[in-house]
Chains A and B, each alone.
Chain A
């Protein structure tokens, strides 16, 4: 009954469109909890899916699913506090879309058929579009338009790539189900030219959704205009879902012996993304956009690490998990800042340490973690990526990577200090209730704990995901 994991939020999501708001909020948390329980059950028991040709339980999918589930549960708790103090007009659309969004993302993590994967990823775009337009301003409308159009066109490319892969089966006279697991098994018999073309299109397509430069233009707009819980979901898990599509296709490429080709492209896109993010972070004036660009940077590192392979792939997987935890906590915190100061501009903020001490702890902790400072997981992940790239002999790209990372750290630190310690006379319009801060604390603590102690089952899952792309020590 694997399908039940994404069907349950789908059903509650549809229900949420029609019920009044005092019932919608508990439903959100209830579904989050239910989803968490179901996900953990699926992870531990590994049940057989009902439709085996479409869905499968894979280690990389499980990792993403667990992250999604945990994040959504915590975000749903935060959302209740957030909805009480913010003025969102059509709340039933917001809650309904959140749940549908969760359902579609879960479907991405569980899908095995190439086309079902595509359907699910496109569905995430559609389900999340109303979330970005929640505030009903002209700017948020612009962001939604860009998001839907750019992502739809990008994902259309991925559809083309998927079709090309089926053509490669045709040319190679392979008769197998069109699913990632089956194709990985027969990868050597696929026609290499069509497979390469298919991979390139899929990378461009899902890369658009993942926020890789130069297709990233929708990302800062959408993340800054969406309400903070939605931004946290977008950044924390939606990007992972898109990455999952690339990861699985890369698996086929590696099995087909075309790892050099795919690795080179992935590294290229990764480096461009990091470079683009570093230039934009240095001059950023809005803190939510700052966080969005930081997401582009981290996605770049993950793509780079996946391209490097070996130790780098392990690092990328660590970055993926920790980035989700930390970035979503930061976006939730940015929601508090926005509610408190009433502006997205960095110059309108200041004295966060005095004015909102509990938010400050979450913000500063998140900043340290995302910048790759020890002892947080991003540090370990980035370290492994750099070491892996060194071992593979990509000296020039490692240099570029490290320089950009330093620049990003400098830019981010500068802005974070201004937010935290600059003098400011603004009156704060928010009392820091417990449920507006402790979800962030839990997320950061989870990340911290995972650096020192990983449960054995989780470690096994990570390792089997990483070894499937020829990664590991």
Chain B
């Protein structure tokens, strides 16, 4: 058992629960920002031998995941004064309970896999699975387009967490490319959001249903 890593990861899991329960967009963005910060410090404490480049890259990840991306979305909200509710399809109470069920399921499922690099921490794989599914859940259970983007970011966080296990071998330039892609994707989504707001005067995705068949 690796205490600092498990502590950090349990904070990540907690942020999943809070993101399910939060009804306001600024709150949700703060949760995602917190999650981004916590997720990106995991490689620092997981006990790999860090090179200077590795530390630099981790700090860059921290900046982008924890600060740049949330701010990007926060400004998108501010600029267009979007209604602040996340407009759930599945209610908050049901979401929180689903989140709890999800975490338990992730724990159970992750016992079926075993990989040497993952067993650095008992919570690593469950947390990654929970983040992935939780992101999917936000994508499906919220009608507000911004909440959907946040769900996408949460999924990316989960994948990043799985990726940390192999980051020893990966070349940082490649990881950085992935990060830049995610960042650019979020920025483009933010621009589209602003356009959606200008065109429809709302970011409720129920309005985006004219194209069918």
Contacts and interface: CB of A to CB of B under 8 A. Distances in A.
Query: Are A and B close enough to touch in the complex, i.e. CB under 8 Å?
Result: yes
Interface of A: 53-54, 113, 115-116, 118-119, 122-123, 125-126, 129, 133, 138-139, 141-146, 148-149, 152-153, 156, 159-160, 163-164, 166-167, 170-171, 178, 191, 194, 220-221, 224-225, 280, 283-284, 289
B137 to A, nearest CB: 12
Interface residues of B, number: 39
Closest 5 CB pairs of A and B: A119-B177, A122-B181, A166-B166, A142-B208, A115-B174
Contacts of A178: 169-170
Interface stretch (B25-33, B40-48, B70-78, B156-164): B156-164
B162 A113 contact: no
Interface in B159-199: 159, 162-163, 165-166, 169-171, 174-175, 177-178, 181, 184-185, 188-189, 192, 195-196, 199
B115 A148 contact: no
6 contacts: A122-B185, A133-B192, A156-B152, A156-B155, A221-B211, A284-B213
Nearest to A145: B192
Contacts of A160: 132, 159, 162
Given A153-B152, A156-B152, A141 B192 contact: yes
B152 A163 contact: no
Contact of B166 (A142, A144, A153, A163): A163
Interface of B: 115-118, 132, 136, 139, 145, 148-149, 152, 155-156, 159, 162-163, 165-166, 169-171, 174-175, 177-178, 181, 184-185, 188-189, 192, 195-196, 199-200, 208, 210-211, 213
Contact of A148 (B156, B159, B175, B192): B192
Contacts of B195: 133, 141
Given A126-B188, A142-B210, 19 more contacts: A53-B171, A116-B177, A119-B178, A123-B184, A139-B211, A141-B195, A141-B196, A145-B192, A145-B208, A152-B189, A156-B155, A156-B156, A166-B170, A170-B116, A170-B165, A170-B166, A178-B169, A220-B213, A221-B211
Contacts of A54: 174
A224 B155 CA distance: 29
A119 B208 CA distance: 28
Nearest to B162: A163
A163 B129 CA distance: 13
B145 A145 contact: yes
Contact of A152 (B165, B185, B211): B185
Contact of A126 (B159, B171, B181, B210): B181
